Structure 1
Amino acid sequence: MALTDALAEYCRDHELVLGGLFIERDRGTCTRTAAFTGLLDALALPDAYAVVLPAASHLGPRPIATERKRQITGSTGARLLLMRGGMAARRRAKPSREHGPHLELVQDAET
């Protein structure tokens, strides 16, 4: 519930509308799960803009995450936005007095 609230707040702060949540219950080894297929279907809608994740690790283990990133950004043209970035994002981020989540475009991040 707290993560859902954080995602909703992040979207409000960045003037985005949270259109839905897609939750994987297992960290299996399959790239195409019911939740991920539902996400891709939602991204096919005309007003879909981006996928917001708490962190890149929410896409799954590295091999699965890499394929999912490709499908999200390549197949749908959607952006992949992270609430929290890795070291690459912290190096690129401008100094700020605010201590909150920041936006990182995954396609610009080191993987």
Structure 2
Amino acid sequence: MATDRDLKRTDESVSLRAILASTVAPGEGDVHEIDFGDIMISEQVIGYIGQATRELLQRYVPNLSQLDSRHSDLIGAIDNKAFWLGESGSLVLTVEIVGNRHFFKIPRELWETRRISKWH
């Protein structure tokens, strides 16, 4: 049975998909949801997201070094859901920073679906 928390996550995914669908460039195709656990992203992408997150955080909190709170208190984790764009194959990850949602578009060559081995 779905909990209120599960329903909230589902509503957020639908909302995020609608936002993405309204902003994708022509030729990028439909927006498809994919579980974050089913993908692998390159170390280059992880470094890029880390750097971009630091820059965005600096924009929101100019005197970051003077804060008592940890940076992790201000930065939400990358969501458990991701979205891929059907035609271009790009992946879109979202992260919340100081209450604002940001989208990171990852080129197809920098991510792949996780291969799962099945034992019989």
Q: Tell me if both proteins adopt one fold, taking TM over 0.5 as the criterion.
A: no
TM-score, with length taken from structure 1: 0.27
Name the one with the larger strand percent. Answer: 2
Structure of higher RCO (CA pairs closer than 8 Å, 6+ residues apart): 2
TM-score, with length taken from structure 2: 0.25
Q: Highest Rg: 1 or 2?
A: 2
